[in-house]
Amino acid sequence: MPYFDAASSAPLHPVARQALLASLDEGWADPARLYREGRRAALLLDAAREAAAEAVGCRPDELVFTSSGTRAVHSGVAGALSGRRRVGRHLVLSAVEHSSVLHSAAALAAEGGSSTEVPVDRTGSVDPSEYGRALRADTALACLQSANHEVGTEQPVAETAEICAEAGVPLLVDAAQSLGWAPVPGRWSLLAASAHKWGGPAGVGLLAVRKGVRFAPQGAADERESGRAAGFENIPAIVAAAASLRAVRAEAEAEGARLRALVERIRAAVGALVPDVEVVGDPVRRLPHLVTFSCLYVDGETVLHELDRAGFSVSSGSSCTSSTLTPSHVLRAMGVLTEGNIRVSLPAGTTEEEVGGFLDVLPGVVAGVREKLGAPASAPPSPARHASLVVDALGRRCPIPVIELAKVIGEVPVGGTVTVLSDDEAARLDIPAWCAMREQEYVGEEPADRGSAYVVRRLL
């Protein structure tokens, strides 16, 4: 039963398990106490901090352990913004950051600050000079992920850090997806990460704040972790997190190369095996273990369910799998197809056979879902019967509006238009994406009584 969602949470690394068990008996006492149990706990905490700092590439006294990666981002952003309050209350971030960064930006906005989202290209990458142009005199902090969690694209962190450093703006790097693979290069100022992404236990994040970075912890604090992470230290989990970080790093080069080849195989095979599919994200500058693709005429939730039944656990950024009914902000910012989205992220140890099994199953699963939804099987065969057509897909959810469009495009002559009425948020992204994939012309969106009218001109 292969689990292919390591980017959500990785199974516990054997070293993490060992270290956790060993330190349950040694690390439960309060490390601030003077008696032997306390001193022992403090020694474990110190050693874990040293190991983690070495892996991050910072000094031990620059690093604190938080209760999660999310908490590290929240505390890091809030503390850095507050530390530079005099400079201003402006935040720069990429449009494809993790929700923890977006929520931090929302919290800033609720307090009267503002932020600028730097757009990304179709691969999901920011342009460092464009990022630099977003920096203002009142910019207190800049945030950039090391690599994207949904599509795997690596960001130009070192170049962006250089530009930020020259502008005197601290850069916080969300390294949650990449820290298990390598240290983050360049002159970053703050760094956040999450242990359960690299096979450590849940309950441990880390926040590094370089010496010299102005930082004022927000909210109620206490004296633990330099006042930057309140609450009793979770030492057994911290020890396990540090030990597994060291362990995955030792394996990173070989395992990274192996998984990179497996992902390469998936990237190539998906396009060949599944019709009407778009593989997204940078094919080269990417995380070794992650690949994302979107399938036309398919809804993500049903695909996930069918893949789960077939024994494969994957994730999706499609709106039909989310409770918010809005498609992934990452795919939206990239301007790529959001329907039928599937993210495959391989945990360490994934075998050739498991990947082969997935590729065996995938085409049938997608075809089955398409059949159920009545998706057009191939190019439109029917003769042109109307000069133009209006399709009413109001009240229908993704991927129905695109399916209805594809079904009738052949019924108008080349040069004729199909107008799709839709109130589904995903249609705004997926109709233009469909046009790009099928080489039809996307004319544009017009307001309608309900939802919007999306106009498409048949080109071939």
- Interface with its own copies (CB under 8 A): 1, 3, 5, 8-12, 17, 20-21, 24-25, 28-30, 33-38, 67-71, 73-74, 77-78, 99-100, 103-104, 106-107, 194, 196, 201-203, 205, 218-223, 230-237, 301, 304-305, 307-308, 313-315, 321, 323
Please state, in angstroms and rounded to a whole number, the distance separating the CA atoms of residues 280 and 151.
7
- Structure-block tokens of residue 407: 């079904």
Q: Which is nearer to its own copies, 108 or 144 (CB)?
A: 108
Closest approach of Cβ 109 to its own copies, in Å? 11
CB atoms under 10 Å from CB of 428, counted, come to: 18
Please state, in angstroms and rounded to a whole number, the distance separating the CA atoms of residues 11 and 313.
13
Q: What are phi and psi of 58, to 5 degrees?
A: -145, 175
| Among the listed residues 352, 366, 376, 300, the one whose alpha carbon sits nearest the alpha carbon of residue 331 | 300
What secondary structure letter does DSSP report for 196? G
Please state, in angstroms and rounded to a whole number, the distance separating the CA atoms of residues 94 and 329.
11
Closest approach of Cβ 54 to its own copies, in Å? 23
Please state, in angstroms and rounded to a whole number, the distance separating the CA atoms of residues 226 and 62.
9
Please state, in angstroms and rounded to a whole number, the distance separating the CA atoms of residues 192 and 146.
10
Q: Which is nearer to its own copies, 323 or 378 (CB)?
A: 323
| Among the listed residues 372, 369, 443, 368, the one whose alpha carbon sits nearest the alpha carbon of residue 405 | 443
Please state, in angstroms and rounded to a whole number, the distance separating the CA atoms of residues 303 and 320.
10
- Asked if 164 is an active-site residue, the reply is no
Q: Which is nearer to its own copies, 101 or 336 (CB)?
A: 101
Closest approach of Cβ 266 to its own copies, in Å? 18
Peptide bond into 399 cis (omega under 30): yes
Between the alpha carbon of residue 182 and those of residues 55, 146, 175, 365, the distances in Å are 8, 10, 10, 35
Q: Which is nearer to its own copies, 43 or 167 (CB)?
A: 43
What single-letter amino acid sits at 154? Answer: E
Annotated active-site residue in 58, 164, 295, 320 = 320
Sign of the Cα torsion 84, 89, 92, 96 reads positive
Closest approach of Cβ 58 to its own copies, in Å? 22
Q: Which is nearer to its own copies, 178 or 321 (CB)?
A: 321
User: Would you call 378 helix, strand, or coil by DSSP?
Assistant: coil
Q: Which is nearer to its own copies, 191 or 235 (CB)?
A: 235
Closest approach of Cβ 77 to its own copies, in Å? 7
Q: Which is nearer to its own copies, 44 or 421 (CB)?
A: 44
Q: Residue length, the chain?
A: 460
Please state, in angstroms and rounded to a whole number, the distance separating the CA atoms of residues 43 and 39.
6
CB-side exposure of 427: number of CA atoms within 13 Å? 29
Closest approach of Cβ 436 to its own copies, in Å? 29
Closest approach of Cβ 104 to its own copies, in Å? 4
Q: Are 271 and 277 in contact (CB under 8 A)?
A: yes
Q: Are 58 and 72 in contact (CB under 8 A)?
A: no
Closest approach of Cβ 376 to its own copies, in Å? 27
DSSP for 314-335, written as a single string: -B---GGGSTT----HHHHHHT
CB atoms under 10 Å from CB of 214, counted, come to: 17
Residue 301 neighbours by CB under 8 Å, 6+ apart = 316, 318, 320, 321
| Burial environment of residue 322 by CB neighbours within 10 A (0 to 12, 13 to 18, 19 or more) | middle
Closest approach of Cβ 201 to its own copies, in Å? 7
Q: Which is nearer to its own copies, 40 or 258 (CB)?
A: 40
CB atoms under 10 Å from CB of 447, counted, come to: 7
Q: Which is nearer to its own copies, 301 or 411 (CB)?
A: 301
* Residues carrying an active site annotation: 320
